[in-house]
Amino acid sequence: MAYSLKEIMNRPERITGGHRMCAGCGAPVAVRAILRALDPEDHVVCGAATGCLEVSTFLYPYTAWKDSFIHSAFENAGATISGAEAAYAAWKRKGKIDETYKFIAFGGDGGTYDIGLQSLSGAMERGHDMVYVCYDNEAYMNTGIQRSSSTPKYADTTTSPQGTVLPGKQQYKKNLTYVMAAHGIPYVAQTTLTANFKDIHEKAHKAIYTKGPAFMNVFAPCPRGWRYDTPNLMQICKLAMDTCIWPVYEIEEGVWKLNYKPKKKLPVEDYLKTQGRFKHLFHKQNLHLIEELQKDIDNKWEDLLKRCGEA
């Protein structure tokens, strides 16, 4: 059934306001957009790894979730939701349930890139009909802004502090979207929040209604860890796209497709200067580090263009 944009935007919220997420946080905005992609008549079972999203939306006995919700540990959100999906499929085969249920797991980068990678990989490899969504805020924000394998090089965190010895984290960010594409699953997408939500909505709908496992990596800035003014959420997301720090693309049945190509590719410093975690890079002795980051972004962008047939 086709729905108009007005109908989609006016659907009842599946996660309520009044939760404890920070103002200017990208995670709840991403969750609302993804859940809005569900057809109104369908049910959903949501799971969340321990993290900002879970502790701020489900403080027992209170919940912001209108659908079924399971809190999992850091390491097993993928396993939990894949198990729920397997039970549902068995009941469906036996005729014990008639309603349509979808299964979505949410996790931050700490619970996805790092601690939960094994259970996520297993769920994708087994072929469960589910979606795993990573809201990527590039550090362990809930436990004190510690670096993760998603944290960008030279970012200032509590466990990779910038100072006179080292200028922040020393390793490049892991490319988890490529890792998930290597699993050969039906649908993989990388997206973020933009003013009209068109890209994230279309990808969420594809992910939910493509048979089999799907993965979405959603760029979700954190005002506390990144140190930006809360109204600048959408500006930072747009700059991440226009500097090609966070390309927007999808892999559908093995076919790579670039969804956004900036008319004018902006320099990486336009993005870096919006956030306090990169403030030290603009000191005179560190300017060469910005040049290094620019070269890395350029190389990765050219690689993606080739994969998408855009070179």
What residues contact 89, with CB distance under 8 A and at least 6 apart? 129
pLDDT for res 6: 79
Which percentage of the chain shows pLDDT scores above 90?
93
Q: What is the rounded distance in angstroms from the CA atom of residue 28 to the CA atom of residue 144? A: 19
Q: Which residues contact 230 (CB under 8 A, 6 or more apart)?
A: 22, 23, 24, 223
Q: Give the residue with greater pLDDT, 2 vs 286.
A: 286
pLDDT at 1: 62
Confidence of residue 283 (pLDDT cuts 50, 70, 90): very high
Q: What is the mean pLDDT of residues 27-49?
A: 96
Tens digit of each residue's pLDDT (9 = 90 or more) over 78-128:
999 999 999 999 999 999 999 999 999 999 999 999 999 999 999 999 999
205 exposed, middle or buried (CB, 10 Å; 0-12, 13-18, 19+)? middle
Q: What's the sign of the alpha-carbon dihedral 287, 292, 293, 298?
A: positive
Residue range 265-280: average pLDDT? 98
- The predicted model gives 14-37 an average pLDDT of 95
Distance of CA 253 to the CA centre of its chain: 20
Q: For residue 34, what pLDDT band results from cuts at 50, 70 and 90?
A: very high
Comparing 16-20, 167-171, 229-233, the range with the smallest average pLDDT is 16-20
pLDDT at 195 over 80: no
Domains by residue range for the chain, with CATH: 5-307 (3.40.50.970)
Q: Could you tell me the two tokens for 204?
A: 């969420």
Please state whether beta strands 101-108 and 43-49 pair in parallel, antiparallel, or not at all (unpaired).
parallel
CA within 13 Å, CB half, 299: 6
Q: Where are the alpha helices (DSSP H) in the chain?
A: 5-9, 26-35, 52-57, 77-93, 109, 117-126, 176-181, 198-209, 223-226, 233-242, 268-272, 287-307
| Sheet arrangement for strand 249-252 | 68-72, 43-49, 101-108, 131-136, 214-219, 187-192, 249-252, 255-258
